[in-house]
Amino acid sequence: MSTAKLTGVSLLKGAVALPLVAGVSLGAPGLDAQANGSTNGAAAQDEVTFSRDIAPILQRSCVRCHRDGGVAPMSLVEFDEVKEYASQIVRRTGIRNRAGAMPPWYVEKDIGIQHFKDDMSLQDWEIDALARWWRAGTPEGDPADLPPPLEFDDDVVWVAGEPDLIVKLPEVLVESDVPDWWGDIEPIPTGLEEDRYVKSVEIREVNDVGRSADGGHEGRHTVGGRFVVHHMIWSTYKAAETLEDGTRTRASVVTWPVHEVGREPDIFDQDAGRLLRAGSSIVSNSLHLHSNGRDTRAHLEIGFRFHPPDYEPKYRRTSFGLGNGSDIDIRAGEAGQELHAYQVLNQHTKIVTFEPHLHAPGMRMCLEAIWGFNVETINCVGYDHNWVRGYTYAQDHQPLLPKGTILHIIGYMDTSDANRNVPDTRNWQGSGNRSVANMFIDLGMRVELTDEQFVEEMARRRAKLALGPNDHVIGCPLCMVIPANGNPEYWADDGAQGGGAGSADRGGSGNGRGSGNGRGPGGDGSRGDDAGRNNR
């Protein structure tokens, strides 16, 4: 008889939940190393050294930014550099998933889905190793143990690859002592002569700040010293027109991900390319410029990478932007305040990214999916308004939700003196564009699925993850509903055994009508005594 499991996280009573690794005893140090048949040096050795234990951690999660020419204010490549900042490294990594943490990745590891692309976060054993190294006096160890140095090509202009189309916006001059500016831009023609589907979009700021030994900061310990464009909310627009046969076309507006300082390229779902129409223009009614303390000339360049001309998307992209900007009421000097917003999904939906957007009082956001009696926390992430970022779910781990699901986001706000991001904790705050006002939005991307696509996607996921009848998939409440034509072959005899318990996170369905009787948790067994709420 198979044992029940949850994909994404383990639920071990009295233990911190860690990502599942096949064949690995959960809770042991160095999961990735054990999965490869080895043991991490920092976890196995009494002495932690820079060369053997700390340098590999920094290479994986830090030096992409913390290097000469990088955007961070100090380099963390050489031993002497790292030793100087050791106490700060220990303090910032120890914050884990709250404001001020480094690296800036805030997904809470004991709640919800734990499979994301480009996850730079530190494991618990890595955070522990950094602290032990500092407490031991930051020993260097044998330089022969150092990993090969990473090589970076700072001449690479486009992270996602050379664009097929680059649209250049007009240059602006932001003087050293001017206030912030918000405003519109004149429409910028794309010059595209045929409709094309976009697989990625990337925006970069080109300015005359230049690079220097300190990364262009000139003593400022902020990334913002390098840039003057704070953000741009933008779309592409094509006006209605009359064709030769007299047919009148409709105007077309396509929204694109918000550009913000430090944003990575947006790579869309392979099966849901975004349409860029021929003859369209770039439009924006929200460009925000912020002085970096020096006279700076700058412009934005938008790089589009296309699918082949004959590409047709499998899924239709749906709108994004779940939130409530009207009813924000944040009291002064108070921690633990909550904001709530709900949305009913009218179509089967696959969530591609989760992108919390709050302002200075924001500390945390959670995403829940409510389906019948089942309430699941998909993810909770900390929030730091200095590091607004999105999280892209890994393939086969995107939330897959049936139509009728209610999405619920909860924003946790703090205007107490403990929140250093709030400039004046004495003030009431409502909604607005400025950082001293507030927003409450999930800007994540989603795609819509037809009935046939939804059933097909669930079947593929069951097979890909080798799921059995007693398993439960976080973020996919119907994944374990048995197809009408019987059990999948790879379920073997597990589904034929009656009177079994329900899914692992449901506390079982004591009436014996759970997945063990071959009917699956889509029948009455899904209700259970606890009504599916044990996973919150």
- 263 forms beta bridges with none
> 523 versus 392: which is more confidently predicted?
392
C-alpha to C-alpha distance for 528 and 237, rounded to whole angstroms:
51
Kindly report, residue by residue over 27-67, the tens digit of the pLDDT: 223 333 323 333 454 545 579 999 999 999 999 999 999 99
C-alpha to C-alpha distance for 380 and 411, rounded to whole angstroms:
10
Q: Is the pTM of this model over 0.85?
A: no
Give the amino acid at 462.
Answer: R
> Given this model, what pLDDT does residue 38 score?
36
Q: What region does 372 belong to: left with phi over 0, alpha with psi -120 to 50, or beta?
A: left
**Is residue 532 in a domain?**
no
Helices 86-94 & 124-135, crossing angle to 10 degrees?
Answer: 150
pLDDT at 515 over 80: no
**Is residue 123 in a domain?**
yes
Whether residue 320 contacts residue 409, with contact meaning beta carbons closer than 8 Å, is answered with no
Percent of the chain at pLDDT exceeding 90: 63
C-alpha to C-alpha distance for 10 and 26, rounded to whole angstroms:
8
Give the amino acid at 536.
Answer: R
pLDDT at 486 over 70: no
CA distances from 204 to 28, 230, 261, 324 (A): 42, 12, 9, 30
Whether residue 102 contacts residue 89, with contact meaning beta carbons closer than 8 Å, is answered with yes
Whether residues 444 and 457 fall in one domain: no
Whether residues 355 and 456 fall in one domain: no
Residue 164's pLDDT band, with cuts at 50, 70 and 90, is: very high
Please name the residues in contact with 262: beta carbons below 8 A apart, sequence gap of 6 or more. 71, 223, 387
Residue 483's pLDDT band, with cuts at 50, 70 and 90, is: low
CA distances from 450 to 461, 463, 484, 503 (A): 16, 20, 18, 27
Whether residue 139 contacts residue 133, with contact meaning beta carbons closer than 8 Å, is answered with yes
> 321 versus 100: which is more confidently predicted?
100
Whether residues 220 and 97 fall in one domain: no
pLDDT at 89 over 60: yes
Please name the residues in contact with 450: beta carbons below 8 A apart, sequence gap of 6 or more. 348
pLDDT at 425 over 80: yes
In 3D space, the residue among 366, 337, 338 whose CA is nearest the CA of residue 107 turns out to be 366
Percent of the chain at pLDDT exceeding 70: 78
Whether residue 4 contacts residue 472, with contact meaning beta carbons closer than 8 Å, is answered with yes
**Is residue 153 in a domain?**
no
Find the mean pLDDT for residues 73-86.
96
Four-CA torsion 184, 189, 192, 197, nearest 10 degrees: 10
Domain that holds residue 31: 6-145
**Is residue 403 in a domain?**
yes
- Domain count along the chain: 4
> 280 versus 433: which is more confidently predicted?
280
SS3 helix, strand, coil % of the chain, rounded to 5? Answer: 15, 25, 60
**Is residue 65 in a domain?**
yes
Whether residues 406 and 484 fall in one domain: no
Burial class (CB in 10 A: 0-12, 13-18, 19+), 343: middle
> Given this model, what pLDDT does residue 284 score?
96
The angle formed by the CA atoms of residues 65, 50 and 145, to the nearest 5 degrees, is: 105
C-alpha to C-alpha distance for 292 and 208, rounded to whole angstroms:
12
Whether residues 349 and 380 fall in one domain: yes
Whether residues 115 and 230 fall in one domain: no
- Domain edge (last residue) among 112, 145, 178: 145
Kindly report, residue by residue over 456-465, the tens digit of the pLDDT: 999 999 988 8
For tokens 């302002």, the residue is 359
The angle formed by the CA atoms of residues 294, 300 and 306, to the nearest 5 degrees, is: 155
First-to-last alpha carbon distance for the chain, in angstroms, is 27
C-alpha to C-alpha distance for 292 and 219, rounded to whole angstroms:
12
Beta carbons within 10 angstroms of residue 241's beta carbon: 11
Please name the residues in contact with 335: beta carbons below 8 A apart, sequence gap of 6 or more. 414, 415, 416, 418, 419
pLDDT at 443 over 90: yes
Whether residues 402 and 514 fall in one domain: no
Whether residues 216 and 293 fall in one domain: yes
Whether residues 296 and 183 fall in one domain: yes
Whether residues 304 and 175 fall in one domain: yes
- Domain edge (last residue) among 449, 464, 486: 449
C-alpha to C-alpha distance for 282 and 259, rounded to whole angstroms:
13
Please name the residues in contact with 14: beta carbons below 8 A apart, sequence gap of 6 or more. none
Whether residue 125 contacts residue 29, with contact meaning beta carbons closer than 8 Å, is answered with yes
Whether residues 203 and 214 fall in one domain: yes
Kindly report, residue by residue over 174-219, the tens digit of the pLDDT: 999 999 999 999 999 999 999 999 999 999 999 998 765 344 445 4
**Is residue 151 in a domain?**
no
- Domain edge (last residue) among 424, 449, 474: 449
Whether residues 93 and 116 fall in one domain: yes
Please name the residues in contact with 395: beta carbons below 8 A apart, sequence gap of 6 or more. none
**Is residue 231 in a domain?**
yes
* DSSP string over 33-71: HHHTT---HHHH-SS--IIIIIHHHHHHHTTTTSSTTSS
Instruction: Evaluate the omega torsion of the peptide bond into residue 257 and state whether it is cis, within 30 degrees of 0.
Output: no
C-alpha to C-alpha distance for 264 and 275, rounded to whole angstroms:
20
C-alpha to C-alpha distance for 363 and 384, rounded to whole angstroms:
7
CA distances from 486 to 140, 482, 518 (A): 61, 7, 8
The angle formed by the CA atoms of residues 264, 121 and 115, to the nearest 5 degrees, is: 80
| Beta-strand pair 353-354/274-276 | unpaired
The angle formed by the CA atoms of residues 294, 186 and 240, to the nearest 5 degrees, is: 155
Task: Find the CATH number of the domain harbouring 409.
Answer: 2.60.120.230
**Is residue 504 in a domain?**
yes
